[in-house]
Amino acid sequence: MAAKIMILNGPNLNFLGIREPHIYGSTTLDEIEASCQQLAATLGITISFHQSNLEGELVNLIQSAHGNADAIIMNPAAYSFTSIALIDALKIFEGPTIEVHISNIHARDELHRHSITSSASTAVICGLGPYGYIAAMLAAVQKLGQLPDRIPASLHGLRAKT
């Protein structure tokens, strides 16, 4: 059965391409979604792609993933630094959860340097720009053991020696 991945985007990411392009670049969220959809087709998986400026709506989406998605990829944006509600919701989800940040938050100002939501994440990808979403999708599908054989072996990751 094909993997299902929910991709969530937090506040102000609907203004990617316009908002602070010196930090986030010129790629829009629609372009990121199109790229993710293309990769999903290549991988033989399905994705749902969402953006909300509302914390409670993101919590509802995470809760709706329970039993309906195999992995969550989330760019919590500003909620990365403030949201206990997102942490609690992510802890309910049993599959891989990968947090994505377009910028390298560790090289940012003090306010944008420490993500509290990463404590509830399986992995964190930051600083790769929009490609971070692609890396997160590959990582999620690899963690689920569902990378197709036609994908180069090097992308399947190293296997433990038996």
The 10 Å Cβ neighbour count of residue 160 is 4
Beta sheet of 46-51, edge-to-edge order: 46-51, 4-9, 71-75, 97-101, 123-126
Could you say which of 24, 79, 112, 133 is catalytic?
24
How far CA 101 is from CA of 60, 71, 119, 147, in Å, comes to 21, 17, 14, 23
Token pair recorded at residue 57: 């709506």
From 79, 101, 112, 133, the catalytic residue: 101
The answer to whether residue 22 is catalytic is no
24 noted as active-site residue: yes
Residues classed as catalytic:
24, 101
